[in-house]
Amino acid sequence: MYIQSTSSVTFVLFGGTGDLSMRKILPALYEAHRAGMLTASGKIVAVARHEDDRASYLQWVNEHVKARVAKNGLDESAWATFIDRIEYVKLDLGCAEDFVKLRDALQDLAGTRVFYLATGPSLFVPICRALASVGLNENARIVLEKPLGYDLRSSNAINDAVGEIFAEEQIYRIDHYLGKEPVQNLLALRFGNALFEPLWRREWVESIQITIAEELGVEARGDFYDNTGALRDMVQNHLLQLLSIVAMEPPHSMDSDSVRDEKLRVLRALKPIDPRDISKVAVRGQYHAGVIRGTAVPAYATEHGVKPDSATETFVALKVEIENWRWAGVPFFLRTGKRLADRVAEIVVNFRAVPHSALGASALRAGANRLVIRLQPNETIRLYCLAKKPGEGMNLSSVHLDLAFDQFFKEGQMEAYQRLLLDVINGRLALFVRRDEQEAAWKWVEPILNDWAASGKPKPYAAGTWGPTAASAMLAQHGTCWLEEEN
């Protein structure tokens, strides 16, 4: 059963006509509204400069958002009442008088104010300062989208400036992977069952893989991506956050600081990378022309907005170690890239083989027992084991136990943004990144950033493959391989 929010909130959306608002935020708010999870008095105030008034903005919403939510079945009555929630303020971020206009527009609206900054990071500080200049930072919540900075120094500069205006408990640094249902189920699997916790350690785990692979290229984001790269765009935030959840110790409760304290301990326990060893534990690649699902796609260097001689990586594979009692000696392999062979995000826990097999060599192979937590495109958790094939002889074959949540729970799964927006509305911080977590992640990746900025070019790989062969060779040195398809 869905639970209605107990908080009345005025949700102010900066970048109200942007791509993120169109694809994720407004559809997520509509789904929460349709499910009766928002209080009746809550309002959505879109802020942008492209539409002149509320009528023209609602026309934009009907043209660009309605078709997206209709893919899941449109309730016309719910859509009409959702539209009634929306107000609009045309605002020039460079004009202080416009923020007075925003303050006046919010004056008679009830509830806690949430300011969602679906804008570029260069606007975070100016917006926060302008909000403070008209007193709108008091008793409010601020949501910051990634990327939050370009490196440790710039991240600290943004956090310092925002922290002068909003207290840490008012700041929600969003990472949408933390809102995905299988990530939530990973917490439930580990900390709600006695079955897995005794196995979740170095004595029984051989290695862990975390992959976020995309078929898409940079699309229309060439200018942005060429100044960012996969390490900043995906590893520093998404992949290290997933790693910290997989490896964290059991928190004493699920309150925000208990969970984030345990994640921080993992990030601080990451083995520092010696600059002399970066080539051994970090692989960077850049896609060349290739074929994906029968369609020819161009090389990264020829994409719009990309410099022809670009050394920006579109692929990263890393070997990571955690220096603590639970995980000492267990390699964590992280991988992400664009224009790869498939779109998939998953966590693979490879358990150790049995120490001795009376059933033949197949029982001793690596990965015979593994847990696969699939985040996309389909969200599942599968436990793989060996079983006897029917017939004569003791011939073993891989079988799996599928945790099919959609068959047990009749409610539809909640999208990541919907869950996270409801957490903001209800003041729950557990699934948002705390500043000290972010700093620890930047500190760990910084030696790699510095090395890559000063050395050569990425290794080439053909679009439609799984990246440079060096990424597979890195795992082969540890007697394992990437899981690149499910049985």
Do 123 and 203 lie in one domain? The reply is: no
Q: What are 270's strand-pairing partners?
A: 322
Count of the separate structural domains present in the chain: 2
What pLDDT shows up at residue 264?
Answer: 97
Is 182 a domain residue?
Answer: yes
Domain boundary among 121, 145, 169: 145
Residue from 403, 394, 338 nearest 372 by CA? 403
Is 110 a domain residue?
Answer: yes
Domain boundary among 145, 163, 193: 145
d(CA 157, CA 122): 11
Q: Is 478 a catalytic residue?
A: no
Residue from 284, 181, 286, 306 nearest 235 by CA? 284
Do 131 and 221 lie in one domain? The reply is: no
What pLDDT shows up at residue 379?
Answer: 80
Is 409 a domain residue?
Answer: yes
- Which domain does 118 fall in, by range? 9-145
**Mean pLDDT, the chain, as a whole number?**
91
Is 191 a domain residue?
Answer: yes
Do 242 and 121 lie in one domain? The reply is: no
Given a cut of 70, the residues of the chain with pLDDT beneath it are 1-7, 362-364, 366-367, 406, 410, 412, 485-487
Q: Which two tokens stand for residue 215?
A: 């078929």
- CATH label of the domain that carries residue 361: 3.30.360.10
Do 98 and 210 lie in one domain? The reply is: no
Do 471 and 329 lie in one domain? The reply is: yes
d(CA 42, CA 446): 42
Do 386 and 441 lie in one domain? The reply is: yes
What pLDDT shows up at residue 195?
Answer: 87
Do 199 and 98 lie in one domain? The reply is: no
Do 52 and 107 lie in one domain? The reply is: yes
Q: Which two tokens stand for residue 476?
A: 């082969």
pTM across the whole model: 0.92
pLDDT digit string, tens, across residues 143-162: 998 878 899 999 999 999 99
pLDDT digit string, tens, across residues 82-132: 999 999 999 988 787 889 999 999 998 878 999 999 998 889 999 999 999
Is 469 a domain residue?
Answer: yes
Candidate list 238, 288, 400, 478, residue with the active-site label: 238
Residue from 320, 315, 302 nearest 213 by CA? 315
